[in-house]
């Protein structure tokens, strides 16, 4: 794909609220989800999970949890994208293993990754590590540059990762001839109950997928109003 084709793809995607009832072929849906799964994540920890709802009864309950938004009922597939707070203990060693096998990582890098991820994510016994990191970070930051620490604000870290997968999902859907509808208008607790999402997960966004019945028109502010180039 060249830039011209990508520009056309990015600019043709619209948030769609009216869907046909046509189902999405399973292999097409699988490919769109797989493209989203290839999105980047910090330390390649891959915290994003995809919870699907196609069943009419499940969608009825989800419709209520998503504040009655019509696209939940109309679209054939609803995907809730979540980030798992427990990703550090559950994924790190699997990822080290898989990257070592693929040749993407050697022992030295694996050691550095283990150390850095522990430093960034470990909340210590009874959350005392969290307290230490939350209290000490502002002081260290006075002396040297410090990034925000996932252990201190895990939801913020997870939301960043999950939303990259969300964007890839919507662009892949568009490339597959599908349309999407991103939604933050939902009650997180109720969405978790309806989709049996584990309590350690944060639900960042719900996306309806399907074939558009009606396309909408949108504008954007001039890029120059939002573009900032800094000079000495
Ligand atoms: C994070 C996020 C949350 C959104 N939540 C909702 C929502 O709950 N309901 C809805 O109808 N549209 C929702 N939208 C769609 C936006 O209104 C839409 O993307 C915006 O108006 C720009 O239109 P476009 O996507 O067609 O270019 C959301 C979009 C984003 C990115």
Q: Which residues approach ligand 1 with their CB closer than 6 A?
A: 14-15, 17, 69, 182-185, 205, 216, 218
Cα of 79 to ligand 1 centre, how many Å? Answer: 15
Query: What is the structure's pLDDT at 123?
Result: 83
- At 112 the pLDDT is 96
**Count of CB atoms situated within 10 Å of the CB of 97:** 12
CA 99 – CA 106 distance, rounded (Å): 8
Residue 59: per-residue pLDDT? 98
What are the CA-CA distances from residue 91 to residues 23, 44, 85, 122, 193 (Å)?
A: 33, 9, 11, 13, 24
> What local confidence, expressed as pLDDT, does residue 41 receive?
97
Residue 49 CA to residue 83 CA, distance in Å, equals 6
CA–centroid distance, 182 to ligand 1, in Å, is 5
pLDDT of residue 180: 98
DSSP codes, 20-46: --PPPPHHHHHHHHHHHHTS--GGG--
Q: d(Cα 215, Cα 161) in Å, to the nearest integer? A: 29
The answer to whether 85 touches 49, Cβ cutoff 8 Å, is: no
Q: Of 13, 70, 184, which is best to mutate to test ligand 1, by the most ligand atoms within 8 angstroms of its C-beta?
A: 184
Q: What is the pLDDT of residue 16?
A: 97
Per-residue buried b or exposed e for 26-55, using 16+ beta carbons within 10 Å of the residue's own CB: eebbeebbebbeebebbbebbbbbbbebee
Tens-binned pLDDT, residue by residue, of the chain (232 aa): 899 999 999 999 999 999 999 999 999 999 999 999 999 999 999 999 999 999 999 999 999 999 999 999 999 999 999 999 999 999 999 999 999 999 999 999 999 999 999 989 988 887 777 777 778 888 888 898 888 888 888 999 999 999 999 999 999 999 999 999 999 999 999 999 999 999 999 999 999 999 999 888 999 999 999 999 999 9
In angstroms, rounded to a whole number, what is the distance separating the alpha carbons of residues 129 and 115? 15
Nearest CA to ligand 1 atom 5: 183
Closest CA relative to residue 88, chosen from 147, 131, 148, 45: 45
Closest CA to 19 of 159, 232, 216, 184: 216
pLDDT score, position 215:
85
pTM of the model: 0.95
* Å from CA of 54 to ligand 1 middle: 21
Nearest Cα residue to 42 out of 148, 198, 197: 148
Q: Whose CA is nearest to atom 12 of ligand 1?
A: 183
Burial profile 163-192: b = 16 or more Cβ within 10 angstroms, e = fewer: bebbebbbbbbbbbebbbbbbeebebebbb
């Amino acid at each position: 794909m060249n830039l011209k084709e990508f520009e056309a793809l990015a600019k043709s995607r619209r948030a769609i609220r009216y869907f046909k009832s046509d189902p999405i072929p399973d292999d097409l849906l699988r490919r769109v989800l797989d493209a989203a799964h290839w999105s980047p994540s910090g330390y390649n920890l891959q915290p994003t999970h995809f919870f699907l709802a196609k069943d009419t009864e499940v969608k009825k309950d989800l419709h209520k949890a998503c504040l009655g938004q019509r696209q939940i009922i109309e679209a054939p597939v609803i995907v809730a994208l979540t980030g798992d707070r427990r990703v550090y203990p559950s994924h790190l060693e699997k990822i080290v293993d898989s990257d070592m096998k693929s040749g993407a990582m050697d022992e030295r890098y694996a050691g550095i990754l283990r150390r850095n991820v522990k430093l960034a994510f470990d909340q210590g016994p009874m959350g005392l590590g969290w307290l230490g990191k939350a209290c000490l970070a502002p002081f260290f930051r006075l002396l040297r540059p410090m990034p925000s620490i996932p252990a201190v604000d895990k939801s913020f870290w997870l939301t960043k990762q999950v939303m990259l997968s969300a964007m890839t999902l919507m662009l892949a859907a568009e490339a597959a001839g599908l349309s999407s509808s991103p939604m933050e208008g939902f009650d997180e607790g109720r969405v978790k109950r309806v989709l049996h999402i584990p309590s350690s997960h944060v639900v960042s966004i719900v996306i309806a997928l399907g074939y558009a019945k009606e396309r909408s028109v949108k504008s954007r502010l001039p890029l120059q109003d939002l573009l900032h180039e800094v000079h000495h």
